């Protein structure tokens, strides 16, 4: 099967490329990593004006979506230019609130989604099993937390530090020397955090993590929250895959330019057979990952029953390919590839972070295998 973008989608991608190139995005990334958000927020507003955030939002709330194919086009460009900020998380929250609106709970969508489309609100999200940290909570207007468990566990999961005990519902059954049966699962609950804890770094300095602190619960049916959270997780994985594809492409382009300009023994480094093979492998990997990402987009757009499996396959493959491209870029740039001051490090860090964001490649391979078997 061969996927081709139409003329309008191609033009949209090229327009984003021109805008992000002119905006000097690497400088905004470095500022974001220092906690200076001004240049990044300027970039955010331009992306909103270009319609990027409206692609995940239904027309009823000011958007033009959901349009997964156009989202793939846009998020590949965001990855190619290493755009900082919770771009994936904002789209995931848009998916979460849109699905809740479809289930008859339109209040949160009406409150937040028009602001997302206008570039006036940045949102982030944590889901059960995804760890306690939220991305870029310090610059977000809304930090959403979905937790499963009883009321005290939900409040605890929404941000209270457990004191380092590692206490979780799954670790509680052993009491008085007997292994008690695990309690039945509780309906998931959605919280809007009241703030966040200290900001911490990550493998990508421009991805800043913080624990949400307890906030208010949004009184919504657990079944609706569960279905909406599952949809948000799929959208987040899909957006990560598209972004990783762009990251891999940027790494390959920069490495090809570098080995074409640097000479050794009187010849460009890129003329050596071993170097050609590494670059060809990277290009082949990217070309094989692209149809998986586009196929997942088509499945999501159609609401196909197998969309989650398509997304899982795309996430595992695209993120693995981007990580392999980072390793190749690092090696072929020689010692300079390890230098944080060199712009290549912006994409290398992002490839590493996206690989494990919202689940590891192993997690998604296992998920895809299970879903394709059904």
For the chain, 374 residues long, give each residue's pLDDT as a single digit of tens.
567 889 999 999 999 999 999 999 999 999 999 999 999 999 999 999 999 999 999 999 999 989 999 999 999 999 999 999 999 999 999 999 999 999 999 999 999 999 999 999 999 999 988 888 999 999 999 999 999 865 444 444 444 433 333 333 333 333 344 445 555 567 899 999 999 999 998 999 999 999 999 889 999 999 999 999 999 999 999 999 999 999 999 999 999 999 999 998 999 999 999 999 999 999 999 999 999 999 999 999 999 999 999 999 999 999 999 999 999 999 999 878 778 899 999 999 999 999 999 999 999 999 999 998 87
DSSP three-state, residue 190: strand
Q: Two tokens at 85?
A: 């900020």
* CA 137 – CA 131 distance, rounded (Å): 14
How much is the pLDDT for 172?
Answer: 36
Q: Two tokens at 248?
A: 């891999």
How much is the pLDDT for 157?
Answer: 44
Q: Provide the residue ranges of all domains of the chain, joining segments of one domain with +.
A: 232-372
* CA 360 – CA 210 distance, rounded (Å): 20
Q: How many CB atoms lie within 10 A of CB 111?
A: 15
* CA 15 – CA 129 distance, rounded (Å): 37
Instruction: Label residues 155-189 b or e (16+ Cβ within 10 Å = b).
Output: bbbbbeeeeeeeeeeeeeeeeeeeeeeeeeeeebb
Selection from 100, 65, 78 nearest residue 300 by Cα: 65
How much is the pLDDT for 184?
Answer: 57
What are the start-end ranges of the H helices in 135-264? Answer: 151-157, 222-261
Going through 12-115 in order, the beta strands assigned E by DSSP cover none
How much is the pLDDT for 159?
Answer: 41
* CA 312 – CA 240 distance, rounded (Å): 11
Q: What angle do CA 226, 232, 238 make, to 5 degrees?
A: 140
First to last CA, the chain: 22
Selection from 227, 247, 225 nearest residue 343 by Cα: 247
* CA 179 – CA 156 distance, rounded (Å): 24
* CA 253 – CA 259 distance, rounded (Å): 10
Q: Two tokens at 233?
A: 């997780």
Selection from 107, 101, 80, 64 nearest residue 26 by Cα: 80
* CA 237 – CA 315 distance, rounded (Å): 6
* CA 281 – CA 250 distance, rounded (Å): 15
Which residue's structure tokens are 């999961």?
A: 157
How much is the pLDDT for 65?
Answer: 82
How much is the pLDDT for 216?
Answer: 93
* pTM score of the predicted model: 0.89
Q: Two tokens at 317?
A: 């493959």
* CA 27 – CA 32 distance, rounded (Å): 9
Q: For domain 232-372, which CATH number applies: 1.20.140.10, 3.40.50.10800, 1.10.760.10, 1.20.120.1200?
A: 1.20.140.10
Partner residues linked to 268 by β-bridges: 263
Strands 123-126 and 142-147: parallel
């Amino acid at each position: 099967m061969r996927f081709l973008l139409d003329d309008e989608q191609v033009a949209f991608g090229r327009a984003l490329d021109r805008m992000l190139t002119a905006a000097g995005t690497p400088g905004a990334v470095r500022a974001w990593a220092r906690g200076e958000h001004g240049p990044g927020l300027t970039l955010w507003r331009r992306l909103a004006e270009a319609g990027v955030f409206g692609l995940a939002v239904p027309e009823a709330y000011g958007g033009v979506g959901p349009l997964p194919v156009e989202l793939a086009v846009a998020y590949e460009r965001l990855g190619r230019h290493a755009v900082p900020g919770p771009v994936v998380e904002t789209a995931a929250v848009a998916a979460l609130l849109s699905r809740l609106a479809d289930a008859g709970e339109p209040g949160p969508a009406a409150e937040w989604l028009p602001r997302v489309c206008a570039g006036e609100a940045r949102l982030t999200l944590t889901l059960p099993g995804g760890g306690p940290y939220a991305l870029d909570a310090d610059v977000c207007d809304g930090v959403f937390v979905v937790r499963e468990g009883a009321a005290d566990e939900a409040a605890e999961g929404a941000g209270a530090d457990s004191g380092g005990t590692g206490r979780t519902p799954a670790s509680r059954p052993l009491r008085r020397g007997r292994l008690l049966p695990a309690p039945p699962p509780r309906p998931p609950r959605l919280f809007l955090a009241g703030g966040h804890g200290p900001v911490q770094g990550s493998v990508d300095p421009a991805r800043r993590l913080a624990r949400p602190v307890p906030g208010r619960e949004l009184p919504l049916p657990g079944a609706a929250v569960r279905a909406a959270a599952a949809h948000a997780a799929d959208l987040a994985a899909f957006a990560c895959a598209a972004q990783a594809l762009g990251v891999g492409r940027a790494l390959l382009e920069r490495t090809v330019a570098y080995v074409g300009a640097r000479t050794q023994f009187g010849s460009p480094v890129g003329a050596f057979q071993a170097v050609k093979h590494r670059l060809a492998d990277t290009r082949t990997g990217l070309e094989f990952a692209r149809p998986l990402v586009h196929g997942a987009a088509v499945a999501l757009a159609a609401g196909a029953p197998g969309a989650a499996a398509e997304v899982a396959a795309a996430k595992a493959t695209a993120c693995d390919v981007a990580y392999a491209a980072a390793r190749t870029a690092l090696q072929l740039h020689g010692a300079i590839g390890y230098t944080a001051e060199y712009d290549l490090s912006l994409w290398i860090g992002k490839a590493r972070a996206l690989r494990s964001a919202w689940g590891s490649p192993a997690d998604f391979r296992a998920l895809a295998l299970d879903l394709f078997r059904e």
